[in-house]
A and B are shown apart, each in its own frame.
Chain A
């Protein structure tokens, strides 16, 4: 290349006369003899890169629109609560730590995952860039695991930062140490529930997104899966309640504070098993069932799991296992040449 000859690199050895060495040294190519990162550090770099792209950082403005709006909406309940605490005479919170606001969380997380999980995996599938990853000093399994870790972190940011805002908004207005302590004791289970949501939802989202290299298909698959199972779970719960005659579902605002859920069951008689089991169908309701099983007191998205708590725990593990297993299996299959 003529251009190279015109730009000698400072680090290259000074041009030696051809007569002296027989070789012309002004080649411009510099060897790299600095530090090289190992497999774990490369995987961490990939994770960080993916976490940034989950929020559109390092991409254009357009890529940031959905994550930013989703995050903004997710923070609204915390802000509303802070205002409510400040203005109400009793200083009582209207948003609970363990559920945050279920409807907002379900809606926003569905949108966030459907929009951003394909950003992490479908793009790479679409552009056939994976051979370039697999021909580098990492192992095949490192790629899906780094992506999963990144997306779990992204979902944690989406869920836990609003949760912490909720805590801060309340604590800053609390009077006395005991009030602060009560709030702190309340927020810890809430954070753990958030962690559970982030891990399970991120895994499902990525596994579904990795099925297609086309973003639109991947987004559609995720959105349909989450909305369909969620609607189905609620519908079945409703039907089971009616068939079993376990009392009529009534609008939520007739009993206690609004929790963002649609139905609260008034149970005059024994509740049929179907009502308790309907929530197993959807990841959201399954997660909520586990929350109630483990002692969450705030009324949930649909009926409580009753005596079927362990089934909910198992179901969440199944969701997680199938998703992570599917994701890893997916990348074992990808060709490299």
Chain B
């Protein structure tokens, strides 16, 4: 999977790129009972494939509902493809395909019937709905199976039908909510490839909401991370990945010595169990670690690159790193 991120401008809060697909300004949603789902969220999403990452309850679903014009924000504003979400909900929904997280398929109809009907509901005339349903199903990789009842499908096939119904109305933007949920590793890989292909070749901007940063990194140009309704970070995947990579070093003995030596070299090491972690800042880090280990003459067992998990990312942002003080400082 190639990262196309470097070719694009970084998405930064407060500085909407011209032609932003999604633009929110101090977007706030308070539910009754003082539950704050979105808290002054200001973010701009450029065309391309964007990951919306956040733990469960971070406000992803609320954001999607507001963007579709189905929920009125308490404060602030949001626009999709240049249309105001509160005013032009119908317009936005005719330009946007939505794939919900949960099961939303009728088991007793065929995929063709299902997607054709939803094509009609997207505003396509009867013949166009039929043609586009067949095409959408072909694009997601359902061929002869589409004449079978959806109830007989595997989870992977069902996810593809969900994607096809989002695609049927020829949207300019796809909102995909946890598209790989419930899939096995092979199914995940196939779904990610499909999303990546749609984003790259169909000219459709995509926002993929997920709690799995690793998956998003594979297919996205940009990542928007939210937590507790607040923007955590919005950046290109490249800078995200750099910021979130650590080097794990394990030596047979002399872990304490190594920690001291790495600290002396300014790498800001951190001990975790029997391993030493340093923030990965490009090729230089490998060299520095190699030199430190060699100078001390320690038996090196393991040295590998590891990504932050999503939880660690959030801890970073909250400046309460559990393992990588250095990483947080460096940001």
Interface set of A (CB-CB < 8 Å, partner B): 1, 3-4, 7, 27-32, 34-39, 41-42, 45-46, 49, 58-60, 123-124, 127-129, 131-140, 336-337
Contact = CB atoms under 8 A, between A and B. Distances in A.
Given A29-B139, A32-B169, A137-B90, 11 more contacts: A1-B139, A1-B197, A3-B141, A7-B138, A32-B124, A37-B123, A42-B120, A129-B105, A132-B121, A137-B94, A336-B65
A123 B201 contact: no
A136 B115 CA distance: 13
Interface of B: 61, 64-65, 68, 70, 89-91, 93-94, 96, 98, 100-109, 113, 117-118, 120-125, 128, 132, 135, 138-139, 141, 143, 165, 169-170, 177, 193-194, 197-198, 201-203
B166 to A, nearest CB: 8
Nearest to A128: B104
B139 A39 contact: no
- What is the interface of chain A mostly: helix, strand, loop, or mixed? loop
A131 B100 contact: yes
A250 to B, nearest CB: 50
A205 B38 CA distance: 39
Chain A CB count within 10 A is highest, among B104, B124, B139, for B104
9 contacts: A27-B201, A31-B203, A34-B128, A36-B123, A45-B121, A60-B108, A140-B70, A337-B61, A337-B65
Nearest to A129: B104
Contacts of A128: 100, 102-104
A133 to B, nearest CB: 6
A59 B117 CA distance: 13
A132 B100 contact: yes
Contact of A337 (B93, B100, B125, B193): B100
A138 B118 CA distance: 12
A131 B197 contact: no
A46 B121 contact: yes
B141 A138 contact: no
Nearest to A143: B121
A336 B65 CA distance: 8
B287 to A, nearest CB: 36
Nearest to A2: B141
Chain B CB count within 10 A is highest, among A29, A35, A337, for A337
Contacts of A123: 106
A127 B201 CA distance: 32
Contacts of A49: 117, 120
Given A27-B201, A34-B128, A3 B104 contact: no
A35 B125 contact: yes
A7 B89 CA distance: 37
B125 to A, nearest CB: 6
A32 B102 contact: no
Nearest to B103: A128
A27 B202 contact: yes
B169 to A, nearest CB: 8
Contact of A36 (B68, B124, B141, B201): B124
A58 B141 contact: no
Chain B CB count within 10 A is highest, among A3, A49, A127, A136, for A136
B65 A37 contact: no
Chain B CB count within 10 A is highest, among A35, A36, A39, A124, for A36
Given A4-B139, A32-B124, A137-B123, A131 B201 contact: no
Nearest to A139: B90
B117 A28 contact: no
A127 B93 contact: no
Given A35-B125, A36-B124, A37-B124, A127 B106 contact: yes
B107 A127 contact: yes
A336 B100 contact: yes
B105 A1 contact: no
Contacts of B65: 336-337
Nearest to A126: B106
Contacts of A32: 124, 128, 132, 169-170
A41 to B, nearest CB: 8
Contacts of A45: 120-121
A135 B96 contact: yes
A337 B104 contact: no
B202 A29 contact: yes
Contacts of B197: 1
B78 to A, nearest CB: 15
A59 B108 CA distance: 9
A244 B314 CA distance: 78
A306 to B, nearest CB: 49
A194 B58 CA distance: 54
A133 B107 CA distance: 17
Chain B CB count within 10 A is highest, among A41, A124, A129, A139, for A129
Contacts of B138: 4, 7
A134 B124 contact: no
A35 B201 CA distance: 24
Given A1-B194, A29-B201, A29-B202, A129 B121 contact: no
Nearest to A26: B201
A42 B108 contact: no
Contacts of B122: 42, 136-137
Given A3-B143, A27-B202, A132-B118, A36 B105 contact: no
Given A1-B194, A45-B121, A137 B170 contact: no
Contacts of B118: 132, 136
B104 A34 contact: no
A337 B105 contact: no
Nearest to A137: B94
A131 B98 contact: yes
Nearest to B96: A135
A132 to B, nearest CB: 5
Contacts of B108: 59-60
